[in-house]
C-alpha cells in the first residue's frame, strides 16, 4: 500500500485505507488556512487570536481531529503512560479483589493527570516475556510479583535494570537501586491486631491456616499473630496448618480432617477465602461459629458480608496502595527521586460475627 511515498499533500482522505482518514495537525492547518504551529498552539491552550481560534476550532470539528499520542511522545521523550505487570498463575488475574482494587486506584489517579495505564497479566514463569518490560512504551512501571522467593528476587533484579522508575508491591527485599520503590501493607500489625482481639476473646489455642505459597504478606501475618500470642501465661498455643493449594475444596477438606482430631479455640486463615472454607468445614462438622470456635481472615473484600456468620477480617488498603503508587511514580518522574523508597500502609481490623 501507499506506493513510493508521494512527496506531500496527502490529505487524511487520500491516506491509506487502514486507518480510515485519521487527520493530522497539518490537515487541520490546511483546512483552516493557518500554519501547523498555530493549530498546535491552539490545541495546547496557548494564546491564539480569537478570529484565528474560531477557524481552527471549526476545522478540528470538521476533520474530527484528535492528537496523535505516539508522535507527541516521540517528540517529547515522554509517554504520559504507566504500565503494570501482574504475575499471577490465574488467567483471570484481575479477579483477585486485592489486585482489582489496587489497579483501580492506580488507574484513577493516573487518569486524573491524563496519564494512561497499560495492564498486563503474565504467568510467573513467563514474567520476563511481558511486552511492557521488553519494549519502551511507558514512563514508569508497577509490578506485582509472585512465585518462589528466588524467582521473585530474580524478577526484581530485572526490573531494576530497566532504568525506569518502578514500584513493586508487597515485597520485603531491601531495594538497592534508587529507581525502585516498594509499597506494602502493614501485615505485621494486622497479625498483631488480630492477636489482641483473640486474646480479648480469651482464646486458648489458635490454628493458623496458610497456603504453601511463598508469599511474604502471609509470613508477616503469621509473625504478627505469633508475636502477640507467644510466651503468655497462661500459654496460648499457636499451630500452623499449611494447605498445599489455595483451592477452596482442598482447604475445606484439610480443615475438616484437622477438626476431626481436635477443635481449636480459634482458626485464623491467611486469606478470607480460606476463612470461608474453614467456616464451611466447621458447619459441615457441626461445630458452631463463634460459639465453639471463632474464625477470622485477612483481606476484607466483600466476602466477609456474604457468609453466615459475617467474617472478622483484617482489611487491606488495596485501593490506596494503587493510588499511592501512582503518586510516588509521578513525583519520581517530576522531581527525579522517590520521596520514600519503602512505604507501608496501615491495615484495619474489622470485627464480624465470626468472633463475636
Partner DNA sequence: TTGAAAGCGTTACCAC
Partner DNA sequence: GTGGTAACGCTTTCAA
Q: Which among 155, 159, 74, 80 has a CA at the least distance from the CA of 117?
A: 80
Residue from 17, 20, 76, 334 touching DNA (CB under 7 A): that is 76
Q: Which among 139, 171, 136, 137 has a CA at the least distance from the CA of 154?
A: 171
Residue from 38, 179, 185, 189 touching DNA (CB under 7 A): that is 38
Q: How far is CA 283 from the centre of its chain?
A: 34
Shortest Cβ 95–a second copy spacing (Å): 5
- Could you tell which of a second copy, DNA, none binds residue 111, using a CB distance below 5 to 8 A set by kind? a second copy
Site for a second copy, residues 126 to 155, rule: CB under 8 A: 130-132, 134-137
Residue from 3, 5, 18, 234 touching a second copy (CB under 8 A): that is 18
Shorter beta-carbon distance to a second copy: residue 233 or 302: 302
Q: End-to-end CA distance of the chain, in Å?
A: 72
175, 342 contact by CB (below 8 A): yes
For residue 115, how many other CB atoms are within 10 A of its CB?
21
Q: Annotate 313-331 with three-state secondary structure.
A: EEECCHHHHHHHHHHHHHH
Residue from 36, 285, 287, 343 touching DNA (CB under 7 A): that is 36
Residue from 22, 149, 223, 253 touching a second copy (CB under 8 A): that is 22
d(CA 23, CA 6): 17
Check binding of 331 to a second copy (CB under 8 A). no
Q: Which residue in the block uniquely carries the three cell numbers 487520500?
A: 14
Site string for a second copy, 228-267 (x = CB under 8 A): --------------------x-------------------
- Could you tell which of a second copy, DNA, none binds residue 124, using a CB distance below 5 to 8 A set by kind? none
Please give the DSSP secondary-structure letter assigned to residue 88: -
Shorter beta-carbon distance to a second copy: residue 5 or 50: 5
Q: Could you give the angle at the alpha carbon of 152 between the alpha carbons of 149 and 154, nearest 5°? A: 110
Shorter beta-carbon distance to DNA: residue 22 or 149: 22
- Dump the DSSP string for 94-133: GGSHHHHHHHHHHHHHHHHTT-EEEEEEE-GGGGGG-HHH
Site string for a second copy, 57-96 (x = CB under 8 A): -------x-xxxxxx-xx--xxx-x---------xxxxx-
d(CA 138, CA 115): 10
- Dump the DSSP string for 282-324: HHHHT--TTTT-EEEEEE-SSHHHHSSSPPEEEE--HHHHHHH
Shorter beta-carbon distance to a second copy: residue 71 or 212: 71
Positions that interact with DNA (CB under 7 A): 2-5, 7, 10, 15, 22, 24-26, 34-38, 40-41, 43-44, 46-49, 51-52, 67-68, 71-72, 74-77
Positions that interact with a second copy (CB under 8 A): 16-22, 64, 66-71, 73-74, 77-79, 81, 91-95, 97, 100-101, 103-105, 107-108, 111, 114, 116-122, 130-132, 134-137, 161-163, 179, 248, 273, 276, 280, 283, 301-303, 305-308, 319, 336
Amino acid at each position: 500500500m501507499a506506493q513510493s511515498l508521494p512527496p506531500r499533500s496527502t490529505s487524511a482522505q487520500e491516506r491509506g485505507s487502514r486507518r480510515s482518514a485519521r487527520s493530522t495537525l497539518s490537515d487541520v492547518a490546511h483546512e483552516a488556512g493557518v500554519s501547523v504551529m498555530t493549530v498546535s498552539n491552539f490545541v495546547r491552550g496557548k494564546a491564539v487570536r480569537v478570529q484565528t481560534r474560531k477557524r481552527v476550532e471549526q476545522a478540528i470539528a470538521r476533520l474530527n481531529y484528535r492528537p496523535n499520542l505516539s508522535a507527541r511522545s516521540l517528540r517529547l521523550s515522554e509517554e504520559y503512560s504507566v504500565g503494570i505487570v501482574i504475575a499471577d498463575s490465574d488467567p483471570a488475574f484481575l479477579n483477585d479483589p486485592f489486585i482489582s482494587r489496587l489497579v483501580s486506584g492506580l488507574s484513577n489517579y493516573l487518569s486524573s493527570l491524563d496519564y494512561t495505564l497499560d495492564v498486563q497479566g503474565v504467568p510467573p514463569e513467563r514474567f520476563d516475556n511481558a511486552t511492557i518490560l521488553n519494549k519502551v512504551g511507558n514512563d514508569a512501571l508497577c509490578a506485582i510479583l509472585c512465585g518462589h522467593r528466588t524467582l521473585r528476587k530474580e524478577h526484581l533484579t530485572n526490573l531494576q535494570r530497566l532504568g525506569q522508575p518502578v514500584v513493586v508491591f508487597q515485597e520485603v527485599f531491601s531495594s538497592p537501586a534508587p529507581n525502585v520503590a516498594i509499597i506494602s501493607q502493614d501485615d505485621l500489625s494486622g497479625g498483631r491486631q488480630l492477636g489482641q482481639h483473640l486474646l480479648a476473646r480469651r482464646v486458648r489455642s489458635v490454628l493458623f491456616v496458610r497456603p504453601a505459597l511463598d508469599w511474604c504478606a502471609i509470613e508477616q501475618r503469621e509473625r504478627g499473630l505469633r508475636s502477640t500470642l507467644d510466651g503468655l501465661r497462661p500459654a496460648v498455643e499457636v499451630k500452623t496448618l499449611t494447605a498445599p493449594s489455595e483451592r477452596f475444596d482442598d482447604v475445606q477438606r484439610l480443615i475438616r480432617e484437622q477438626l476431626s482430631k481436635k477443635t481449636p479455640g480459634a482458626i485464623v486463615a491467611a486469606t478470607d477465602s480460606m476463612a470461608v472454607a474453614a467456616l464451611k468445614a466447621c458447619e459441615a462438622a457441626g461445630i458452631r461459629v463463634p460459639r465453639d470456635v471463632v474464625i477470622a481472615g485477612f483481606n476484607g473484600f466483600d466476602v466477609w458480608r456474604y457468609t453466615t456468620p459475617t467474617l472478622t477480617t483484617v482489611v487491606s488498603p488495596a485501593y490506596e496502595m494503587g493510588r499511592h503508587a501512582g503518586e510516588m511514580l509521578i513525583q519520581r518522574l517530576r522531581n527525579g527521586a522517590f520521596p520514600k523508597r519503602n512505604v507501608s500502609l496501615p491495615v484495619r481490623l474489622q470485627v464480624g460475627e465470626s468472633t463475636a
